Chains A and B, each alone.
Chain A
């Protein structure tokens, strides 16, 4: 059984007064195996973010199913949703979403505190993670005192500290310079290598070329996918780039 199964998900937005209907996702199906590192690519407006929001249970599909470990997350009741998100999913956002009111350490602890984890266990979980993400010496600082790359690594630590079944990353390198991006992507690879399943939405070819598989979305459907197989990062980069050229020039091949 796959870790994540998306079955014929459709999402239609209706404007507030009923008038126009916008179809963001028409028919999306794919699955992610445990331990995979999947990137989802597509142009602006292709439905990437809508898909991620549905996977994150922040939004509900108009029709279709999303199974995480065989459980349909579409049917989870509203009041159990936040606990579900906290325990099974980890998030990394483009704009970090760290709270200025907390020190970096407390930002990382936030989901654990919400789940009622004892303080001693929090510290035990944090120390290897902080070392791995090389943020151990800035933990007492505040978000406004550190660089973007450091913020994003802290956000990654917050996503990983709950040992989630799936990490969802939304353009994680979008706000970072190339050096910080490279560092973060390398860390993602390492984390994935240790067995963490990652699903990343991006339109950076560089970011996607680190993934084990790349899905292309166009007009609300999965249009194409590339498996890494034995390819190096550079070869991967080349074939993603080729695929994108085909997609944007309007080729119909599948």
Chain B
């Protein structure tokens, strides 16, 4: 026997099974390329020289890990489908006289061929595309630089190791299956498990409960902080619910339909109902996979797209003025800050306009009805404690009048209040024992609102004069054991300087950076805070651009997986339905009727998925909106539009994939 016998046989086998192996090979190549691209962009030295590079490379690193894990699970899953289809062929070899070790040798060579092809093509494709995608990423981040083509050797090694490992693992599982089965089992491999599915009441109830629980969390969540902590739980619950309901719930419903004799023994229901019971059993897990993957695509893409599209709005709402400085208030500091501003402005050739100066005292407080505390009470629930934390800013009336250009008056113990929470309706408030009466609710504040990301509400309290502000400060934080809820604020009354900037973009950036640097060194012994719209803009671009890039990339990967599972489902159904199609015609159904009935069943199955995925997305919307609120995304309609457009595009794509794969299916059925 020629030494090349086994490799040749392996090659012939792959070619003969091209219908199922070609998509598998494509998936392998694509996964390898995706993994390499994501990893090599993260390691590109060109990236580290950019502003906000840390955020982006963290995200890319995270993305690389996600792709790695996903590839492992997905390639393993696809392989199990392939080997199941081929059991008959392997059994035949066994019966024709090949020993199991020979079959093992053939399988090994097959896997070797697959591994070599997919690693070679995947890495080559990855190297070619990584440059393109890197440029795309830079474009998304709004950075224009020329970066040379580079090949990341460590990433090539990592990729080969990871995917080599995955292929080895798959091969071992295949060999184990061959070893454990006898030829008869192998011959019948394609037909095992034809028994009617059992629906378990417990699983169905569990499915309903966890799906309901997940939805309930998603729909009732009140604020971003809780949303963040419960989102993960809700996702897990919905995934469990989806699996249970697809596998057990669907069959329970169908069996209930079958019990109803009047309904069941009707021409138009008889074949679909029984066919669906059978179909759901064989495909429930695969269908649940498709459904969850589709939901993931929808959620990831619509979230990241809306952040990316809305980043300008977020920036504008969070940083109403171009530049804001806040230092501990003193005559000396005031002068110094003003000097620094003018000096750097002259140096850079920019022009500060609309300058606003005011003093304030700002800190985070825990609100309990109308009293505001510096500590979270020990009996408060930790999970919901943060929703009660409010950022409170005290401003003397004098400064308010000057900035707002008003001449309002206040008496002792009176205050004017502005709250970002529209439901605010307190008439009096107590701060560390000092009570103020709310004289007036203001509808706007002339000051920039810098709010830490975790806190949702902003409260401004305008009091009679600076002395009142100071006395409230002393009452709140004067105690020696005071520990602030958030450390980013001044412990003392602060002097704030806010202004817009006129000038060329480069000059403004230069000014912003040098001033920030200078203020940090000049006031290094006191608390100081600098916020620049233009510097934040870059940070935002790298953060949201990074999210966007990652979202689209992962979205595409999940989409590819969805497509492949749909294709394999269609193929396996095609093989199974071929015989039934034949029998039904012999028993007295016309070709047309059989075709129609099968088409109806398949449409039902595949569009059930789409509908469920859309419902999942809809249910997730409240949580997504809350989470995006934390990023400062307040435009609900924008998020909804992004989600809607994403869904629409997904539906179009899904229809396209469906109709293409359906063709393969009909070809199999009618062969």
Chain A residues at the B interface, C-beta cutoff of 8 Å:
58, 78-79, 81-83, 85-86, 91, 93, 97-102, 106, 109-111, 113-114, 116, 119, 122, 142, 144, 158
Closest chain B CB from A139 CB (angstroms): 14
How does the 8 Å CB contact mask read for B181-211 relative to A, with 1 for contact and 0 for none? 0000000000000111000000000000000
Assuming the contacts A101-B275, A144-B195, asked whether A79 and B580 have C-beta atoms less than 8 A apart, the reply is no
Closest chain A CB from B624 CB (angstroms): 41
The reply on B593 being an interface residue by CB < 8 A is: yes
The reply on B278 being an interface residue by CB < 8 A is: yes
Assuming the contacts A101-B580, A119-B265, asked whether A58 and B586 have C-beta atoms less than 8 A apart, the reply is yes
CB-contact partner of A114 in B194, B582, B589, B592, under 8 A: B589
User: Are A113 and B266 closer than 8 Å at their CB atoms?
Assistant: yes
**Which residues of chain A have C-beta atoms less than 8 A from B592's C-beta?**
79
The reply on B132 being an interface residue by CB < 8 A is: no
Residue of A nearest to B279 (CB): A101
The reply on B81 being an interface residue by CB < 8 A is: no
Which bucket holds chain B's interface residue count?
A: 20 to 34
Closest chain B CB from A107 CB (angstroms): 9
CB-contact partner of A93 in B584, B585, B586, under 8 A: B586
Assuming the contacts A99-B584, A144-B195, asked whether A113 and B589 have C-beta atoms less than 8 A apart, the reply is no
Closest chain B CB from A152 CB (angstroms): 15
Closest chain B CB from A157 CB (angstroms): 13
Closest chain B CB from A146 CB (angstroms): 13
**Which residues of chain B have C-beta atoms less than 8 A from A142's C-beta?**
195-196
Report 27 cross-chain contacts, Cβ distance below 8 Å, ordered by A residue. Answer: A58-B586, A82-B585, A82-B588, A83-B590, A86-B587, A86-B588, A91-B587, A93-B586, A97-B583, A97-B586, A97-B587, A99-B580, A100-B278, A101-B274, A101-B275, A102-B274, A106-B270, A109-B265, A110-B587, A111-B587, A111-B588, A113-B266, A113-B267, A114-B270, A114-B587, A119-B265, A142-B195
Residue of A nearest to B262 (CB): A119
CB-contact partner of B277 in A85, A98, A99, A101, under 8 A: A101
Bound-state Cα–Cα, A101 to B265, Å: 14
User: Are A122 and B265 closer than 8 Å at their CB atoms?
Assistant: yes
**Which residues of chain B have C-beta atoms less than 8 A from A110's C-beta?**
270, 587-588
Assuming the contacts A99-B580, A100-B194, A113-B267, asked whether A81 and B278 have C-beta atoms less than 8 A apart, the reply is no
**Which residues of chain A have C-beta atoms less than 8 A from B587's C-beta?**
86, 91, 97, 110-111, 114, 158
CB-contact partner of A101 in B266, B278, B588, B590, under 8 A: B278
The reply on B261 being an interface residue by CB < 8 A is: yes
Bound-state Cα–Cα, A144 to B583, Å: 16
**Which residues of chain A have C-beta atoms less than 8 A from B582's C-beta?**
97
Bound-state Cα–Cα, A142 to B262, Å: 21
Most chain B CB within 10 A, of A99, A101, A102, A116, is at A101
User: Are A144 and B584 closer than 8 Å at their CB atoms?
Assistant: no
User: Are A79 and B590 closer than 8 Å at their CB atoms?
Assistant: yes
Bound-state Cα–Cα, A109 to B266, Å: 11
Bound-state Cα–Cα, A134 to B394, Å: 94
Most chain A CB within 10 A, of B266, B270, B585, B588, is at B588
**A-B pairs with lowest CB-CB distance, top 6:** A86-B588, A82-B590, A101-B278, A119-B265, A97-B583, A113-B270
Bound-state Cα–Cα, A97 to B582, Å: 9
**Which residues of chain A have C-beta atoms less than 8 A from B265's C-beta?**
109, 113, 119, 122
Closest chain A CB from B197 CB (angstroms): 11
Bound-state Cα–Cα, A113 to B592, Å: 17
Bound-state Cα–Cα, A247 to B202, Å: 67
Bound-state Cα–Cα, A91 to B584, Å: 12
Closest chain A CB from B366 CB (angstroms): 63
**Which residues of chain A have C-beta atoms less than 8 A from B261's C-beta?**
119
Assuming the contacts A99-B580, A106-B274, asked whether A82 and B195 have C-beta atoms less than 8 A apart, the reply is no
**Which residues of chain A have C-beta atoms less than 8 A from B589's C-beta?**
82, 114
Residue of B nearest to A79 (CB): B590
Bound-state Cα–Cα, A251 to B201, Å: 70
Q: Besides the contacts A82-B585, A86-B588, what 20 more A-B pairs have beta carbons closer than 8 Å?
A: A79-B590, A79-B592, A81-B590, A82-B588, A82-B593, A83-B588, A91-B586, A91-B587, A93-B586, A97-B583, A100-B580, A101-B274, A101-B275, A101-B277, A101-B278, A109-B270, A111-B588, A113-B266, A122-B265, A158-B587
Bound-state Cα–Cα, A139 to B293, Å: 41
Closest chain B CB from A125 CB (angstroms): 13
**Which residues of chain B have C-beta atoms less than 8 A from A144's C-beta?**
194-195
Closest chain A CB from B575 CB (angstroms): 14
Bound-state Cα–Cα, A95 to B270, Å: 23
Residue of B nearest to A56 (CB): B586
**Which residues of chain B have C-beta atoms less than 8 A from A114's C-beta?**
267, 270, 587-589
How does the 8 Å CB contact mask read for B467-508 relative to A, with 1 for contact and 0 for none? 000000000000000000000000000000000000000000
Bound-state Cα–Cα, A91 to B587, Å: 7
CB-contact partner of A99 in B195, B262, B267, B583, under 8 A: B583
Most chain B CB within 10 A, of A82, A98, A109, is at A82
User: Are A85 and B267 closer than 8 Å at their CB atoms?
Assistant: no
Chain B positions 592-648 with a Cβ under 8 Å from a chain A Cβ = 592-593
Closest chain A CB from B602 CB (angstroms): 15
Residue of A nearest to B274 (CB): A101
Residue of A nearest to B583 (CB): A97
Bound-state Cα–Cα, A100 to B277, Å: 11
**Which residues of chain B have C-beta atoms less than 8 A from A81's C-beta?**
590
How does the 8 Å CB contact mask read for B270-304 relative to A, with 1 for contact and 0 for none? 10001101100000000000000000000000000
Bound-state Cα–Cα, A111 to B586, Å: 10
**Which residues of chain A have C-beta atoms less than 8 A from B593's C-beta?**
82
Bound-state Cα–Cα, A82 to B595, Å: 14
**Which residues of chain A have C-beta atoms less than 8 A from B266's C-beta?**
113
**Which residues of chain B have C-beta atoms less than 8 A from A91's C-beta?**
586-587
**Which residues of chain B have C-beta atoms less than 8 A from A82's C-beta?**
585, 588-590, 593
Bound-state Cα–Cα, A82 to B589, Å: 5
**Which residues of chain A have C-beta atoms less than 8 A from B270's C-beta?**
106, 109-110, 113-114
**Which residues of chain B have C-beta atoms less than 8 A from A78's C-beta?**
590
User: Are B267 and A116 closer than 8 Å at their CB atoms?
Assistant: yes
Residue of A nearest to B275 (CB): A101
Closest chain B CB from A175 CB (angstroms): 15
**Which residues of chain B have C-beta atoms less than 8 A from A106's C-beta?**
270, 274
Bound-state Cα–Cα, A110 to B262, Å: 15
Bound-state Cα–Cα, A82 to B590, Å: 5
